[in-house]
Chain A
Amino acid sequence: NAGVTQTPKFRVLKTGQSMTLLCAQDMNHEYMYWYRQDPGMGLRLIHYSVGEGTTAKGEVPDGYNVSRLKKQNFLLGLESAAPSQTSVYFCASRPAGSYGYTFGSGTRLTVV
């Protein structure tokens, strides 16, 4: 089925460990986004990309890095996880010239 797929769905990390979250979309969308969701704070933008090979910082980029080497994939990396990065992470994508965003099902990350 077409859509946005996030991998993994759940993960527990120890403080200081690193990991990469993968977002894959098969809709040929230009724009891709990483958000985090914390209780009472809505969704906040971490990083986004307006096309293959480009990335930009969002509202809360510290502690995260991203890469968009292929148009269909947007990777979010945590180099040294901290408990403050415990959150639910959502990826989204949108085609250029359209206003419809498609969200993935989320990754629930716990850092202990």
Chain B
Amino acid sequence: ELKVEQNPLFLSMQEGKNYTIYCNYSTTSDRLYWYRQDPGKSLESLFVLLSNGAVKQEGRLMASLDTKARLSTLHITAAVHDLSATYFCAVDRLNSGSRLTFGEGTQLTVNP
């Protein structure tokens, strides 16, 4: 059974600081996704990581993937209040009907 675990589950940080969210998954997966969700809203796609060593950056967010360690990280640089949201990682496997399995989510609060 594929399991996806995120840590931390709750993160409160100050503006201007850096931090990393970790995403571990239990079995070989084909693709790793990061999503953002604002309260009461749907999921917004941030990154899709397709291969070992993949790194993608958008603004203050950078995601990376290590398939050997079954680990993805979402690094936040110089946080700003607008980044406050819940962040989910998810993985899918092409040979199992290709559906997403999600982590529990990391609730990020950036304080002024």
Contacts and interface: CB of A to CB of B under 8 A. Distances in A.
Interface of A: 31, 33, 35, 40-45, 48, 50, 56, 58-59, 90, 92, 94, 99-101, 103-106
Contacts, number: 51
Interface size class of B (residues with CB under 8 A): 20 to 34
A106 B100 contact: no
Contact of B42 (A41, A94, A105): A105
B34 to A, nearest CB: 12
Nearest to A43: B102
Contacts of B100: 33, 43, 45, 92, 101
29 contacts: A31-B99, A33-B99, A33-B100, A35-B102, A40-B9, A40-B104, A41-B104, A42-B102, A42-B103, A42-B104, A43-B43, A43-B88, A43-B102, A44-B102, A45-B99, A45-B101, A59-B101, A90-B42, A90-B43, A94-B98, A99-B31, A99-B50, A99-B92, A100-B48, A101-B33, A103-B42, A105-B42, A106-B41, A106-B42
A42 B100 CA distance: 11
Interface string B11-51: 00000000000000000000101000000011101001010
Contact of B99 (A41, A58, A105): A58
B10 to A, nearest CB: 10
Contacts of A101: 33, 45, 100
Given A99-B31, A101-B45, A42 B99 contact: no
Contacts of B105: 40, 42
Contacts of B4: 42
A100 B97 contact: no
A50 B97 contact: yes
A103 B99 CA distance: 13
Contacts of B31: 99
Given A35-B102, A42-B103, A59-B101, 5 more contacts: A90-B42, A103-B42, A103-B43, A104-B42, A105-B42
